[in-house]
Amino acid sequence: MQLYNTLSAEERAQLIDEAGKERLTLSFYAYTNLSDPQKFRDDLFIAWNALDALGRIYVAKEGINAQMSIPAENFEAFRETLEVYDFMKGIRLNVAVEHDNHSFLKLTIKVRNKIVADGLNDETFDVTNKGIHLKAQEFNNMLEDPNTIVVDFRNHYESEVGHFEGAITPDVENFRESLPIINEQLQDFKEDKNLLMYCTGGIRCEKASAYFKHQGFKNVFQLEGGIIEYTRQIKEEKIESKFIGKNFVFDHRLGERITDDIISKCHQCGKPCDNHTNCANDACHLLFIQCDDCKAAMENTCSTECLEITHLPVEEQLRLRKGLKVGNKVFRKGKSDALTFKNSGDLSTETLAKAETKDIRQKIKIKKVLVGKVEHYYTKSKIGQFLIENKELSVGDKVLISGPTTGEQELTITELHVNRTTVETANIGDQITFEIPFRVRLSDKMYKIL
């Protein structure tokens, strides 16, 4: 029995495109007590592989945490594979609003010690003895109660751009650090206050609520499905949002606007801004908030030091990077002395500016038409080879190239070649080449922007 992937990501992307079927991206988690996580893992792999399910899944004694992509037509069959297990009967599957057929290109199920790295000694308490789940309206109601203490269980850089009114936002870089801090702060309120907690998708609170109940808190509540599900419910039921600002998410968007309030500042100039970015120096990659002006002036870097490094020849940059533990820096998540306006400690929900409702939605609204796909990229000469499958392409056209690794990149065509001949316009069936400053990958789509 084959229990592991055999296809590469590129081969998989091609298969998905050829199949031409719609896929759903979804996530779920469940806590339980498993006696044999390895067997559970293998059983899931066999069942899901047969359904062409893909994703990144963690399995542990304490349960399962899954982010997946499923062919839409197999959705019910997939649900049945979960219903087999008592602890997943009637489980809520969070289906992503935006469709992306390439959200996952492998089925990877890993057995881990934990499904969330929380640093807790779980032997001492029952992770399934969780707090009471609240829906969006119930959560709003409880926020109004003066007897309520609301705690944000996400990391500080996430709370910085958006959080619930009046929430305690611990200055931590990970979940592990926040639990003892909160326990200490709320020592005197265990008996009579409502402890209300929330996080991005609910999984961290689920464990935290069990932990705090074990610590002696009597009234423990959590936002069911986290901010993601809250957002869905307030939109559907037209409820007022008590979450102010942006919800930080870990995909290429780095944030989903919930209200148009901007409550954070550019870390470099202090101007109201809530756009996270990663430093363009690959040896740094620091996550921080940067406004468009600073982005232009600093060329998307976090400091003059990083700016200078990005101006060195690539070989020199590689030499400097050698032996450097970049991983540490990547996860510093915005902690750097170079950032003058980085906020730490308590955060307010004071609105510093209003966002123009453009960013994400406008991107989707760009009128474009599919013209072809990438066939090859010649790394040395920086030349891309494309196949025109629809319409035509001319010099002067603006195109968007999009793919799971490439992301979304725009450029204007300045010259076109078909069979080594320079042409003004290429037509369906033509195999074209042109110089392209960034790397593109097999099966990336090319759209003409209209």
User: Does the footprint of Zn ion cover residue 371 (CB under 5 A)?
Assistant: no
User: Does the footprint of Zn ion cover residue 294 (CB under 5 A)?
Assistant: yes
- Pick the binder of Zn ion from 302, 399, 413, 436 (CB under 5 A): 302
Strand intervals (E) in 72-136? 94-95, 107-111, 132-134
CA dihedral for 395, 396, 397, 400, sign (positive or negative): positive
User: Does the footprint of Zn ion cover residue 268 (CB under 5 A)?
Assistant: yes
* 116-143 exposure pattern, b = at least 16 Cβ within 10 A, e = fewer: bebebebeebebeebbebbbbeebbebb
Q: Which amino acid is at 364?
A: I
Stretch that binds Zn ion, among 7-15, 269-277, 355-363, 436-444 (CB under 5 A): 269-277
- In what order do the strands lie in the sheet containing 194-198? 132-134, 219-223, 194-198, 148-152
- Pick the binder of Zn ion from 107, 182, 306, 400 (CB under 5 A): 306
Tell me whether residue 72 or residue 320 sits nearer to Zn ion (CB atom): 320
Tell me whether residue 15 or residue 296 sits nearer to Zn ion (CB atom): 296
User: Does the footprint of Zn ion cover residue 279 (CB under 5 A)?
Assistant: yes
- Pick the binder of Zn ion from 116, 284, 399, 416 (CB under 5 A): 284
Residues 113-172 binding Zn ion (CB under 5 A) are: none
Q: CA of 425: how far to CAs of 378, 383, 392, 400, 422, in Å?
A: 22, 18, 7, 17, 9
Tell me whether residue 1 or residue 314 sits nearer to Zn ion (CB atom): 314
User: Does the footprint of Zn ion cover residue 281 (CB under 5 A)?
Assistant: yes
Distance CA 115, CA 253 (A): 24
Least CB distance from residue 305 to Zn ion, whole Å?
A: 7
Question: Which residues lie below 8 Å from residue 361, measured CB to CB, with a gap of 6+?
Answer: none
Tell me whether residue 109 or residue 279 sits nearer to Zn ion (CB atom): 279
User: Does the footprint of Zn ion cover residue 298 (CB under 5 A)?
Assistant: no
Distance CA 45, CA 53 (A): 9
User: Does the footprint of Zn ion cover residue 291 (CB under 5 A)?
Assistant: yes
User: Does the footprint of Zn ion cover residue 393 (CB under 5 A)?
Assistant: no
Tell me whether residue 328 or residue 414 sits nearer to Zn ion (CB atom): 328
Distance CA 357, CA 359 (A): 6
**What long-range pairs does 252-260 form, CB within 8 A, spacing at least 24?**
252/407, 253/360, 255/161, 255/162, 256/231, 256/360, 257/355, 257/357, 257/359, 257/360, 258/162, 258/227, 258/231, 259/162, 260/354, 260/355, 260/356, 260/357
Tell me whether residue 271 or residue 368 sits nearer to Zn ion (CB atom): 271
**425-426/393-394 β-pairing:** antiparallel
Convert residues 220-259 into a mask of x (bound to Zn ion by CB under 5 A) and - (unbound): ----------------------------------------
Total of chain residues touching Zn ion, rule CB under 5 A: 12
User: Does the footprint of Zn ion cover residue 339 (CB under 5 A)?
Assistant: no
Distance CA 97, CA 24 (A): 9
Least CB distance from residue 177 to Zn ion, whole Å?
A: 24
Asked if 83 contacts 72 with a C-beta cutoff of 8 angstroms, the reply is no
Least CB distance from residue 351 to Zn ion, whole Å?
A: 18
Distance CA 329, CA 305 (A): 15
Least CB distance from residue 383 to Zn ion, whole Å?
A: 31
* Other Cβ atoms within 10 Å of 341 Cβ, number: 15
Stretch that binds Zn ion, among 6-14, 69-77, 216-224, 264-272 (CB under 5 A): 264-272
User: Does the footprint of Zn ion cover residue 266 (CB under 5 A)?
Assistant: yes
Candidates 199, 284, 291, 306; catalytic one: 199
DSSP string, 139-167: HHHHHH-TTEEEEE-S-HHHHTTEEETT-
User: Does the footprint of Zn ion cover residue 286 (CB under 5 A)?
Assistant: yes
- Pick the binder of Zn ion from 51, 96, 269, 423 (CB under 5 A): 269
Least CB distance from residue 134 to Zn ion, whole Å?
A: 38
Tell me whether residue 271 or residue 439 sits nearer to Zn ion (CB atom): 271
Tell me whether residue 235 or residue 319 sits nearer to Zn ion (CB atom): 319
Distance CA 74, CA 20 (A): 14
Stretch that binds Zn ion, among 83-91, 260-268, 360-368, 400-408 (CB under 5 A): 260-268
Least CB distance from residue 321 to Zn ion, whole Å?
A: 12
Distance CA 210, CA 204 (A): 10
294 carries an active-site annotation:
no
**Residues annotated as catalytic (active site), given as ranges:** 199
Interface contacts to Zn ion, rule CB under 5 A: 266, 268-269, 271, 279, 281, 284, 286, 291, 294, 302, 306
